[in-house]
Amino acid sequence: MLKRGKLMATKKMKKAQKKKLGLHKTKPVTLSHVDPRGKARMVDVGDKEVVRRSATARGFIHLSKETVTLVRENGLKKGDVLSVAQVAGIMAAKLTPQIVPLCHPLELTQILVTPQLMPDGVEVTATVRCVGRTGVEMEALTAVSGALLAVYDMCKKVDRRMAFERIELVEKTKEAL
């Protein structure tokens, strides 16, 4: 059994260790889409300020060299892969609240989807903008995912080894009106 003095020393040592590791500043993690009972809920954004918001996401799909050549030469039976991917990304961004259950429907002011053919696949970048009370990062990520899925769909007959990689949020901004 520890005496009171030793117990205090142990607590001080633990506190010093946490401080040294940078753990003394951590706050408890809370999830905004979970209620106190742990059930999913849609966040109330009604009291948030309306601001100009933007988010950019990026993703990549690896293709074989032969498939890259077919895409470059527009040699696939389904048509122009990059144009279809661009339109699919735009459509996906607009449908985000129907795909991601707890997303708020937003009035999007701009959706830019740019598929770019690379030596080993297709990189897609999407930027989504709105004026609203909540961010558009899910719309940007969904746009990238939809565009990459379209590439996969158009190339699946000729390339069974395609692989998605690095679907990520690159930037998120908000500014007062």
Residue 172 CA from chain centroid, whole number? 10
Quote the domain boundaries for residue 66.
Answer: 51-175
Query: Would you place residue 43 in the very low, low, confident or very high pLDDT band (cuts 50, 70, 90)?
Result: confident
**Is residue 19's pLDDT more than 80?**
no
Q: Is 153 known to be catalytic?
A: yes
- Give the rounded percent of residues in the chain with a pLDDT score beyond 90: 72
Of 98, 89, 109, the residue nearest 149 (C-alpha) = 89
**Is residue 23's pLDDT more than 90?**
no
Higher per-residue confidence, 102 vs 38:
102
pTM (two decimals): 0.81
72 within some domain: yes
**Residue written as tokens 């205090």?**
8
Which of 35, 44, 120, 153 is labelled catalytic? Answer: 153
Any idea what the CATH number is for the domain that residue 122 is in?
A: 3.30.70.640
100 within some domain: yes
Give the orientation angle of helix 137-155 with respect to helix 81-94, to 10 degrees. Answer: 140
Cα separation, 18 vs 25, in Å, equals 9
Q: How many domains does the chain have?
A: 1
Give the model confidence (pLDDT) of 53-90 as tens digits: 999 999 999 999 999 999 999 999 999 999 999 999 99
Mean pLDDT over 142-159 rounds to: 98
CA dihedral of 9, 12, 14, 18, whole degrees rounded to 10: -160
Cα separation, 173 vs 113, in Å, equals 18
Mean pLDDT over 112-136 rounds to: 97
pLDDT at 11: 61
